[in-house]
Amino acid sequence: MGYFNQEAVDDLHNGLADLPRALLDLREAYAMREYKEGLAREHAQHGLCRRLATMVHSVQTVFQILPPDLDTIPERAAVMDATAAIQTFVINAFGCMENLAWIWVLEKDLRGRRGAKLDRLEIGLGKRYVRPSFSDEFRAFLDGQKDWLANLIGFRDGLAHRIPLYIAPYVIDDTAAEAHRALDTKAMAALVEGNRVEYDRLRGEQQKLGRFRPWMTHSVYEKSPAILFHPQMIQDFKTVDSYCRMLLKEFGK
């Protein structure tokens, strides 16, 4: 058995199974909606809907490559593929927030100081000329999502500007740390000597001391959190789904 118990694994797969239906509902709601502005329609159909589809595909890819019941250390290529899928997911989750803001601003023809059109940097769900245009209910919803959005922005910013998020190939318990360091010293010595066979053997011995954990993080020095990526991706999609549905309600007011 891997990191998760069977009940947690079942819950994760149930969450995964819910995503295609949610995606279909949102695509129908946003793609089929009548828009006053062509650019708003593009943000909905070719921005938001494409991003949502990419997010679902990314979650499915991660579950296929690194299933939550995995109990062995995966191949490096598998970890790299899953990492790329998670990075894609994070960028598009944040992009959905931006697309929603653009849709709202364009359809409501929101303006800034002295009636000027808003600059790109002034468009966002929480920006000063946008947030006041929402109902009390929607502003309360935004306030309730502040921590979630801050975490998403942290991973997005790390990915785009500093240290990209990653999945550790394996982790070492404290009891095996000294043996792992000793093997590391020997492996580096073998590499310096040009003995690649011995180097690979020692790296293999190191790996046997480890265990795979479905964690993602981005910076040790920034003390970024280690997050369980399977449930986080499911929850993140559900949160984006909530943003989308809440904005649809806002349009109906």
Give residue 253's pLDDT band: very low, low, confident or very high (50, 70, 90).
low
135, 242, 243 from 247: Cα distances, Å? 10, 9, 6
* Residue 240 near residue 93 (C-beta atoms within 8 A): yes
Burial class (CB in 10 A: 0-12, 13-18, 19+), 215: middle
Average pLDDT value for the chain:
93
Give residue 23's pLDDT band: very low, low, confident or very high (50, 70, 90).
very high
Q: Quick one: tokens of 180?
A: 């792992």
**In a 3-state reduction of DSSP, which class is residue 253?**
coil
Distance CA 195, CA 189 (A): 9
Q: What percent of the chain has pLDDT over 90?
A: 77
What confidence tens digit (pLDDT) does each residue in 164-223 have?
A: 989 988 888 888 888 888 988 999 999 999 999 999 999 888 888 889 999 998 887 888
Q: What's the number of CA atoms in the CB half-sphere (13 Å) around residue 27? A: 15
Report, as an integer, the average pLDDT of 225-229. Answer: 90
* Residue 89 near residue 55 (C-beta atoms within 8 A): yes
Residue 14 or 175, more confident: 14
What confidence tens digit (pLDDT) does each residue in 55-87 have?
A: 999 999 999 999 999 989 999 999 999 999 999
DSSP alpha helix (H) spans, the chain: 6-31, 38-42, 49-65, 76-108, 136-144, 146-161, 174-192, 196-208, 229-251
* Residue 31 near residue 86 (C-beta atoms within 8 A): no
pLDDT at 151 over 70: yes
